[in-house]
Amino acid sequence: MYKIIPVDPFNLVLFGGTGDLARREILPGLYRRFHVGQIPRSSKIICVARKSYGKQEFSDFVKKAITENLDQHLIDQDTLAQFLSMVTYKSLDANDNENWESLKQSLDLSLITAFYLSVGPNIFSKIINNLDKFDLIRPNSRIVVEKPFGHDFDSSRELNNILSKVFSENQIYRIDHYLGKETVQNLMALRFGNVLFEPLWNSQYIDHIQITVAEKGGVEGRGEYYDNSGAMRDMVQNHLMQLLCLVAMEPPSIFSPDAVRDEKLKVIRSLEPLHHTDIVLGQYGSIGSEPSYKEDAGNPRSTTESYIALKCKISNWRWANTAFYLRTGKRLRKRVSEIAVVFKDLPHSIFQDHPQINGNVLAIRLQPNEGINMTVTIKEPGPGGMRLIEVPLDMSFAKSLNQEVGNLTKAYERLIMDVIRGNQTLFMRGDEVEAAWQWTDKVISCWEKHRKTPQIYDPYTSGPEEAYMLTNKDQRRWREIEI
């Protein structure tokens, strides 16, 4: 069993406190941390939103959020009652001056206080200005900002400017929940905690790297937001680029927030601009009575991509000429996220019956079944000649660590505890986000310049046909999207 280290008592003020993220992830995640003894009882969680809620009505909302989103074995009535007594509601409109003073009165600002903005970026600045105006910010305050962190480079810079007027960079926590996933952090442990991989981790031994984040769900319910973003802005600019950074970065000299983020930033800045033939866009069609992307988005003329595949290159000494294939999409065959490091084929085979031996593949699975899997070539058991087969060396975390998959700490709860501890390693720094947007903007303007439009693909497949060409033309193949 891992050790639980309690955090100091804190205040968490959650703007957007009745929203979808609060309901599905944040409140259940906080309950879990409380349940395992990590959150002291004297902490306060204040959900803030415009709507007015009666005390009982709000308590029922929190209870429902927890019971509907967590395994029942985690819920015991005493703990739940204690947790509910820590969570209160404050009705507040970011646009006016009312109730900010009473929010301030309800907080002991000598405690660590995290203001979590789980709201649309259009009201970021109003909230931040009011936090300042009503004197709620102290040196031990932190601000947590959800994505989307801007829509392009200019808007991300503007958001950074707004934040930096009242907070210093070491108080700002820009969330990318992918960084909170168990396996994503394990990638760093794997690379920098083992002597085995690092000497091979370069263009001399690695043929290419594939990063896949496939989702089975469509955009139902979020059509309006998504239609303005598309897969590039919604997933690649943040989640996939963060994965790319962790897999490609140089070893930081120390595992500290700035050392790690400095190395990630160098990767982003070394990304080459893409050629339009290195970009594939797709959009899901309909199947049976299930709506197409255009119908889900409520926009019959939409040309937004619900799928994107890219071939990227990093121009530095370690990765010269190594292809990084990235793809993500909605309504695909399965919900699978993985990073696959494909090593080069053997330079020479000594086995006459096997003139060519495939390179090993190291697959780091983010979800489902978090773990690491390596294909190795061995002799097929049995008498007779030397027949070779490829078998998986499988290290599923749940199995290896004897844990239920559901018990692995979830991304949001881990990240919130890091906010309270003041550990920024798994959060994006301002310059990193801006650099990611700069590259993203170039990719988008490249496809716009070439008037690329998404190819329609059949739902629950591996995406558009054109995506196959991206790897086939390099004599490579995408890995199957399978669990």
Q: Which amino acid is at 274?
A: L
Nearer to ligand BG6, 25 or 441 (CB): 25
Tokens of 143: 């601000």
Cβ at position 319, least distance to ligand BG6 in Å: 26
CB of 147 to ligand BG6, least distance (A): 6
Alpha-carbon distance of 338 to 425, in angstroms, equals 22
Binding site for ligand BG6 (CB under 6 A): 147, 177, 215, 234, 337
Q: Are the CB atoms for 305 and 293 separated by under 8 Å?
A: no
- Residue 56 and residue 191: Cα distance in Å, rounded? 50
Q: 3-class DSSP state for residue 141?
A: strand
- Residue closer to ligand BG6, measured from CB, 338 or 434: 338
Residue 278 or 413: which CB sits closer to ligand BG6?
413
Residue 313 CB, shortest distance to ligand BG6, in Å, is 25
Q: DSSP assignment, residue 115? A: E
Smaller CB distance to ligand BG6: residue 30 or 86? 30
8 Å CB contact between 10 and 45: no
Cα(259)–Cα(432) distance, rounded to whole angstroms? 13
Of 182 and 441, the one with the shorter C-beta distance to ligand BG6 is 182
Q: Which residue is listed with tokens 């040196």?
A: 139
Q: How far is the CB of 150 from ligand BG6 (least distance, A)?
A: 14
Q: Is 24 helix (H, G, I), strand (E, B) or coil?
A: helix
Quick one: 9 exposed, middle or buried, by C-beta within 10 A (0-12, 13-18, 19+)?
middle
Residue nearest to ligand BG6 (CB): 234
Closest CA to 113 of 423, 428, 430, 422: 422
Confirm whether 239 is a catalytic residue.
yes
Q: How many helices (H) and strands (E) does the chain have?
A: 16, 15
Of 434, 430, 450, the C-alpha closest to 151 is 434
DSSP assignment of 31-76: HHHHHTT-S-TT-EEEEEESS---HHHHHHHHHHHHHHHS-GGG--
Residue pair 343/375 in contact (Cβ under 8 Å)? The answer is: no
β-pair type (112-117, 141-145):
parallel
Pair 180, 142: CB distance under 8 Å:
no
Token pair of 225 as six digits: 């937001």
For ligand BG6, the closer of residues 177 and 414 by Cβ is 177
Confirm if 38 and 6 have CB atoms less than 8 A apart. yes
Measured from the CB atom, is 318 or 335 closer to ligand BG6?
335
Q: How far apart are CA 280 and CA 308, in angstroms?
A: 6
Q: Which is nearer to ligand BG6, 234 or 441 (CB)?
A: 234
Amino acid at 469: M
Exactly one of 73, 239, 275, 354 is catalytic; name it.
239
- Known catalytic residues are 239
